[in-house]
């Protein structure tokens, strides 16, 4: 029997401003893609990778997510919620959920779609004793994601958010050790991508053989719809 992986945090509290006006009446997690709310694709992917417990960080219109998913039992998951009254950013939201998290856990941006297997990412994180290990994909353009440079050992030597020129980018999927939370600035809001990752020691990457789609932009949202409808 495959061992259960640790809990996953989904950062689903953002305002989704890039996706408007395509999705204006609901949080981005409930944007309908190929006939289904996007969050279901993420949850089913986690469950298929032997994740059984999920913490959802919700904010903007978060009550819609809570009403839709409940405790997750109908999906074969245990879902708990961390709610932000004002936008905290990705790092602030993760810090706020800290009391719900074990020593090591997974983190997933609320707008990332991928079919990447999680086991290899988790194995790299364990082996390197990293504070955070980022799933990384090749890309021709890093201007819309976190641009990454890695050495031969897999250590990330540079992380620059939304700057052109990098051949590798962050997929928005991370394995994280709890000690990372102590490095999150106390200012609010704050971002993993701009305020934390560029300064973290023991930051590693796992080069995924499977890419990803960011549905946070109209182009990504429509691209995922085409991809799923063609399957």
What is the fold of 8-229?
Answer: Spore Coat Polysaccharide Biosynthesis Protein SpsA; Chain A (3.90.550)
**In this structure, are residues 214 and 172 in contact, taking their beta carbons and an 8 Å threshold?**
yes
- Which pLDDT score is estimated for 143? 64
Give Cβ neighbours of residue 46 (< 8 Å, ≥ 6 apart): 8, 54, 77, 106, 108, 118
Residue 194 CB partners (closer than 8 Å, separation 6+): 161
Contact 122, 130 (CB under 8 A): no
The pair of three-digit structure tokens given for residue 77, joined into one six-digit string: 């998951």
- pLDDT tens digits for 117-151? 999 999 999 999 999 999 999 987 666 677 899 99
* DSSP assignment letter at 155: B
Give the whole-angstrom CA distance, residue 163 versus residue 148: 10
What is the tens place of the pLDDT at every residue in 42-74? 999 999 999 999 999 998 888 999 999 999 999
Please tell me which residue in 28, 61, 96, 162 is annotated as part of the active site. Answer: 162
Angle at 148 between CA 151 and CA 170, to 5 degrees: 125
Give CB contacts under 8 A, 24+ apart, made by 138-141: 138/167, 138/168, 138/169, 138/207, 138/211, 139/166, 139/167, 139/168, 139/169
- Kindly list the domain boundaries of the chain, sorted by start residue: 8-229
Mean pLDDT of 219-230: 89
**Residues forming beta bridges with residue 114, ordered by sequence position:** 212
pLDDT for 14 beyond 90: no
Catalytic site includes residue 78: no
Q: For 20-44, what is each residue's pLDDT tens digit? A: 666 667 888 999 999 999 999 999 9
Q: Please answer whether residues 231 and 29 qualify as being in contact, where contact means their C-beta atoms are separated by less than 8 angstroms.
A: no
pTM above 0.85, yes or no: yes
Residue 195, classed as helix, strand or coil, is: helix
């Amino acid at each position: 029997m495959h061992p259960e992986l640790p809990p996953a945090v989904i950062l689903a509290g953002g305002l989704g401003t890039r996706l408007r006006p395509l999705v204006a009446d609901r949080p981005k997690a409930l944007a309908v893609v190929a006939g289904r709310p996007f969050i279901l694709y993420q949850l089913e992917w986690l469950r298929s990778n032997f994740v059984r417990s999920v913490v959802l960080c919700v904010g903007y219109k978060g009550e819609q997510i809570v009403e839709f998913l409940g405790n997750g039992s109908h999906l074969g998951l245990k879902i708990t919620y961390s709610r932000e009254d004002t936008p905290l950013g990705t790092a602030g939201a993760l810090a706020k959920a800290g009391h719900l998290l074990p020593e090591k856990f997974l983190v997933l941006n609320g707008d990332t779609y991928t079919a990447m297997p999680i086991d290899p990412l988790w194995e790299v994180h364990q082996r390197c004793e990293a504070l955070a290990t980022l799933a990384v994909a090749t890309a021709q353009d890093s201007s819309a994601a976190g641009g990454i440079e890695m050495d031969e050992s897999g250590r990330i030597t540079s992380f620059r958010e939304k700057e052109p020129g990098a051949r590798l980018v962050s997929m928005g999927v991370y394995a994280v050790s709890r000690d990372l939370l102590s490095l999150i600035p106390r200012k609010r809001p704050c971002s993993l991508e701009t305020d934390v990752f560029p300064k973290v020691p023991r930051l590693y990457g796992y080069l995924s053989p499977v890419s990803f789609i960011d549905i946070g932009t109209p182009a990504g949202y429509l691209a995922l719809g085409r991809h799923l409808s063609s399957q």
